[in-house]
Chain A
Amino acid sequence: MEGNNKVYWKGLEELSNDIHFVKNAEREFPEGTPLPGTEAAANADIMPASRRDFLKVMGFGMAAVTLAACEAPVKKAIPYLNKPEEIEASIANYYASTYVDTDGDYNSVLVKTREGRPIKIEPNPLSGVTPAGTSARAQASLLSLYDLERLKGPFNGKEKKATDWKSVDAAIGQQLQQVASSGKAIRIVSSTIISPSTKAAIKEFIAKYPTAQHVTYDANSSAGILNANQTSFGKAVLPFYNFDKAEVIVGIGNADFLGTSPGSTTYSALYAKTRKLGKDKKKMSRHYQFESTLSSTGANADYRTPIKSSQEGLVAANLYNKIAKKLGAAPVSAPALDVKGLDDAANELASAKSAGVVVAGSNDPNVQTIVNAINNLLGSYNTIIDLNAPLTLKAGDDTAMANFAKELSQGQVGAVFFYNANPVYDYPTGKQFGEDLKKASLKVSFSDRMDETTSLCDYVCPDHNFLEAWNDAEPRTGYFSLGQPTINPIFQTRAAQQSLLAWAGNTVEYDKFIQSYWRTNLFSLQSKYSSFKEFWIHVLHDGVFEPKNAPVAAVSFAGDVNAAAAAVGKAGNNGIELVLYQKIGIGNGAMANNPWLQELPDPISRACWDNYLTVSHKMASELGLTQSEEDGNDLVTVEIPGKPAITLPALIQPGQAEGTVGLALGYGREKAGKAANNVGVNAYPFASVSALGVGYVVNGVKVTKAGEKRKIAQVQTHHTIMARPIVQEAKLSEYQKKANAGRFMPKVATSEGKKKATDISLWHGHKYQNHSWGMVIDLNSCTGCGSCVVACTVENNVPVVGRQEVINRREMHWLRIDRYYSSDAPKDDVKALEEASANPEVVFQPMLCQHCNNAPCETVCPVLATTHSSEGLNQMTYNRCFGTRYCANNCPYKVRRFNWFNYTNDERFSDVNYMSQTDLGKMVLNPDVTVRTRGVMEKCSMCVQRIQEGKLNAKKERRRPVDGEIAMACESACSTGAILFGDMNDPESRISKLIAEETEGRMFQVLEEINTRPQVSYLTKIRNKA
């Protein structure tokens, strides 16, 4: 081996030992790529960074980026350095205030605030007008305060830019002077104003500018009633009805006093008093309804007859004649018309005399005059109907508005101010109105958003939200209430009254203005308080001031019933009639951008996020219209003489009168906000304007099938009860004989004979040592209005999911009001039972977690996320839930709701669920209730946070909670008292007494036979039928 020391060189360079070669040969695999600036880099003539360095840099970079991405967003929680005296963190404050909207809805309310932000609206029990319950809109109005679409301050529409109050005042003041000196008209256009101070402020403004006038109109006008009462009694008022004194109630036309009519919160409560039954009260009122579209009120009637809207006058006239014949008065000449139930209604009214009342919803003064005549004949003006303390909730004057529209088109108007009015959207000739608006040199709007009218204005001077503002109201003559700010104005807004006063040259603060108005006009109506300050403080605390008025002399009827009858006798009856109605949530559409209201299902159709043409079953089959959950509803084209045709989905509505179709107002907003824009179609243009006022019934409509289909977001798609004893009901006569009439009392056969299903159990049952919370729901009192649904949503931070997700059957409501139609089919024909009757009986059933003692959900949860409390509640532990959904599947009542998406973060829900996605929206959330994330199940907790609060309050005072101290959100929102919550372990509680009275009577539990033993019970529905 020794000789083997040959050297092989790789090339001539190696052999020659070239200097460059030697240098490079050592670095055949260059370690190379040092970082720039290092010694190695200085020496290297190739890449300036080593692989190792590269990895180091990359690693550092990645780590830095990752860490930066991990950083949680900074949320600022600023403590009170100087704590306001009245605010305790986590303790709610309540302020009495007043809710009024542009649609005749009034509620005296208590506003619950937490840490200075309003989070809930409760009824004000001191009110004489709305002592119990609130409307759905009042509940939902809270969200309008935090609406993202609100204007942040004054806006110059000419220059399309935000401005400040000083320059707005200067510009408007100057232009007003010009208009005034040119002699052109100045008009303040508003919906009905029930605030005496606002009216006074407007008066001051008008005093300053002599050419100014105040034009009042209502999107949904009641001018016909006002006019009829003007001619009949010399008083242009909406009568107040004491329904609690009524034994026979007859509603004609769209008399939706339990739903959308002004005063419905009050009327529902009074009506429900006549429907309550018990051991000592076995009588109830009888209610007839003659109407075309099925309304909430019609659904609650004992007898309902579908009639064409054009027949309302004839029905009234014939009713008059039949009663007149009985009571020996002179009949009027009107074509005889015989509809089902009219004879019975007439007979019963005639025998009930002053305990009977007829209510009509028509905006035709002739119909209203005949109805006044009937009530006069019956003598109900001294008992049920109160003209001396009437409602002031609708004062719109259709003639004045029509005149104004004419003035505007003729260019006589120089300046126009819109206060709570949006005529471009909601006046029948709104489009033309918008065009004519250009002829006025100064257009000012007080609207809180860039709505259809406001966007055409020169200046927008946004008004406060009612929760930020001082105001007062007189919803019923002699019944005053105050509104006070519950939060500092969020934006640079200013009270509209303040603006008007400023332009009138009065610099007084509006709240001082209200005080001075009250000092001069109202202080003297009482004698309890000697100083105004004392009076004011008490009124502000109570929210209401209701001096007892001196009785006013009885009224005498002076209407010309013969002329009215002659006029209605001529009413045309050609072709299909389009009836424009309102939905309980959206109303006239002013609050359309409120997702809580959009998602509130219509009590009857159970549809939300849309309007649609309601057609009868017969018309649907004639036109070949179908509807199904999978394919949607057929679109139809509606052609109205002289109006552009519209295409919209048709909904087959049992109870719809033959020859009529219905369409809801309040939809089709274009500039209300992201949630409301382009939801449904605008029906206002189809209303007619005539000498009689605005007409909501259109004759000679052509309906054709359009060929396509579209889904309507309905929370319930199966409408009959399938002959199941889920809602148990009886007729009054049966109930009078037997208290448990209509009850389904299942028995199970055992070796020891037949036993009640609840007597056999695998389980030992729960022992409740302390409390046993329970609920009883009276199906006879529930009118289906839905305010409990909204109240529950507000209280419990229930997410809104929007149209598509409702179509996907995923609405999140913890509490729903099931609506069932009756069917004519035999009990065992399950196919035919799916079809509702043409004119069905309707029943509403509020359905929520039944808090079962043998809860099917509890046994199946793998992780014990839903468990039973020691006080009878079925509890949901959101943190523990990982979302198998087994509990929801196994719930026989299907009340559990799953968070399919992250509603609080998913940008697909930003438009509809902004209340948990934006800083402004989040202010509405109830801090006592967890906001749920995706993948978690939720359901009614029986407002456990309220129970807890009540218990703690009692504990602090070393006592037990008093019955009624703890109220559920749904319960307190209910104006009819249909929901009763309490401690079933407390023998003195109302619920214990009711259960003791009704256990063998009307009380039942849904699906008793599967032995779930709910803590929630129902009382049977009793119909006052023969």
Chain B
Amino acid sequence: MSHVTSSVRPPLVTGGKTYGDVTEDICRQVEGKPTTLWNIAFLISLIVLGIGGYGLYRVFWFGIGEWGLNKTVGWAWDITNFVWWVGIGHAGTLISAILLLFRQKWRTSINRAAEAMTIFAVLCAGSYILMHMGRTWLAYWALPLPNTFGPLWVNFNSPLVWDVFAISTYLTVSLVFWYIGLIPDLGTIRDRAKNKVSKVVYGILSFGWDGAAKTWQHYENVSLVLAGLSTPLVLSVHTIVSFDFATSVIPGWHTTIFPPYFVAGAIFSGFAMVLTLMLITREVFGLKDYITIGHIESMNKIIMLTGSIVGVAYITEFVIAWYSGVQYERYAFINRMMGPYWWAYWSMMSCNVISPQLFWIKKIRTSVVATFILSIVVNIGMWFERFVIIVTSLHRDYLPSSWAMFAPTKVDVLDYLYTFGFFFTCFFLFAKFLPVINIAEVKAILKSSSEHVEEHKTVTSAQPGFQARPAFNKDVE
């Protein structure tokens, strides 16, 4: 019946949903009162944010010395967490842009939340950029702004300047893409709104969406253009983040394999984070018919693929270190495996390389519980990956006289907590006040790829010629 999805494929939306059901299901938690569960979760996020905020205060008031850094290890948890959050922020755009190009229709149920997560994660990463600076109040110097300091300009040779551009571009495009995608749904909510405040607020937010054919056409064009813009960004952001290390002279950092390896790792961790969050969301908001086991399985396959790429990259690094014949390079990698931070290395290896291989087993990749656990394990592993790259390379570089150990302080932990608090506060606000699933896009695939109840089936099969085209379906050419 459909020219888009093979009938042998499992349906993407289950439960025989009608268009009305879709709207109803997704708008329910936006319009209803916050649930107790949401209230508790939100409160916890705020508390974590507050406790973490104390760490932020310590760093801003007293200086970076509140962290465990030293003369040898100048970056540790700060940049580890920065790269980790940026990596997590990769899934959103990947799902929205690359999966769009690959015509992966299953992305419609998850792209909204994934994009939101992207934005919050990039904001967390950004807060680390600001936090790690010795003099945060001068952060704007990193921008090529005209100034009165004389002919002072940024250093375009510095990967950190590239970073500023890469991250800010990524954040801007992601934010615009996400917001444009929200507009039709905001229009729906506005139209359904009963209370005055909601009417005004959603009215303003929906930019006067009128649902006219011309509006849909503009909307679709803008979406396509933005998707086109985002696609290279998915690859560029983490490539440039990897340049922070790859262009240096430090053994263990100075590696040409970093760009693809970092991008794969970012997708790997981003998908894991999307899974973690979506598994909770579908449970809490009762969206199991939209985020199905099929979705979970597809994402697990991507995790398995990217996890394997990352594993190959780890091994390649070792071979090249040996092949280079460079004493320092060899030692850097031997030290990773057997030096004082061996536990970080082996945590990384087991979490990132071994654990995703479990997804070869169908039973595991279709199990919600196993997926949830493994998605967290993957993110732990990816955190360790960044820690291993940053700390174990720095702590024993060229001159043994300067070799040192790094140990995090309480403030290191508090600042990490702060980003979690910030992330979840934002995410819960999003989950409450905005539709977590793209209503318009799900509706667009409802006809072609959902589990239909009998009567619908009869109707549609009886009158195939009269099947209305979905109001919006950018998957259809």
Contact = CB atoms under 8 A, between A and B. Distances in A.
A860 interface: yes
Contacts of A818: 399, 401
A947 interface: no
A859 B158 contact: yes
B62 interface: yes
**Chain B interface SS verdict (over half):** loop
Interface stretch (B36-44, B130-138, B344-352, B466-474): B130-138
A882 B135 contact: yes
Contacts of A889: 74-75, 248, 250, 394
Given A811-B71, A862-B158, A892 B249 contact: yes
A893 to B, nearest CB: 6
Interface string B56-100: 000000111100111110110000000000000000000000000
B331 A830 contact: yes
Given A716-B401, A889-B250, A894-B402, A862 B135 contact: no
Contacts of A906: 62-63
Interface in B179-219: none
Contacts of B64: 883, 885, 898, 900, 935
B154 to A, nearest CB: 6
A880 B152 contact: yes
Contact of B72 (A805, A890, A894): A894
A861 B65 contact: no
A886 B250 CA distance: 11
Contacts of B152: 863-864, 880
Nearest to B163: A862
A213 interface: no
Contacts of A933: 135
Contacts of A935: 63-64, 133-136
B65 A831 contact: no
A654 B18 CA distance: 81
A718 B138 contact: no
A868 interface: no
Contacts of A811: 71
Contact of A862 (B69, B160, B328): B160
A529 interface: no
Given A864-B152, A881-B134, A1007-B398, A859 B157 contact: yes
A267 interface: no
Interface residues of B, number: 56
A722 B396 CA distance: 11
Interface stretch (B306-314, B403-411, B438-446): B403-411
B63 A820 contact: no
Interface residues of A, number: 63
B294 interface: no
Contact of A885 (B134, B340, B396, B407): B134
B403 A718 contact: yes
B343 interface: no
A856 B249 contact: yes
Contacts of B135: 881-883, 933-936
B98 to A, nearest CB: 30
Contacts of B149: 880
Contacts of B407: 630
Contact of A860 (B70, B71, B248, B335): B248
Interface string A425-454: 000000000000000000000000000000
B320 interface: no
Contacts of A892: 249-250, 397-399
A837 interface: no
B65 A862 contact: no
A904 B74 CA distance: 21
Given A724-B400, A882-B141, A894-B397, A629 B405 contact: yes
B168 to A, nearest CB: 13
Interface in B144-170: 149, 152-155, 157-161, 164
B298 interface: no
A287 B70 CA distance: 39
Contacts of B138: 882
B247 A860 contact: yes
A172 interface: no
B338 interface: yes
Interface in A610-635: 629-630
Interface string A705-727: 00000000000111111111010
A626 to B, nearest CB: 14
Given A718-B403, A818-B401, A864-B154, 11 more contacts: A808-B65, A808-B70, A809-B404, A818-B399, A862-B158, A863-B155, A883-B135, A892-B399, A898-B74, A901-B62, A937-B134
Top 3 closest pairs, chain A to chain B, by CB: A883-B134, A935-B134, A900-B65
27 contacts: A722-B400, A723-B327, A724-B398, A808-B65, A808-B70, A809-B70, A859-B157, A861-B155, A863-B142, A864-B154, A880-B149, A880-B152, A882-B135, A883-B135, A884-B133, A885-B75, A889-B394, A892-B398, A893-B402, A898-B64, A898-B69, A898-B134, A900-B63, A933-B135, A934-B134, A934-B135, A935-B135
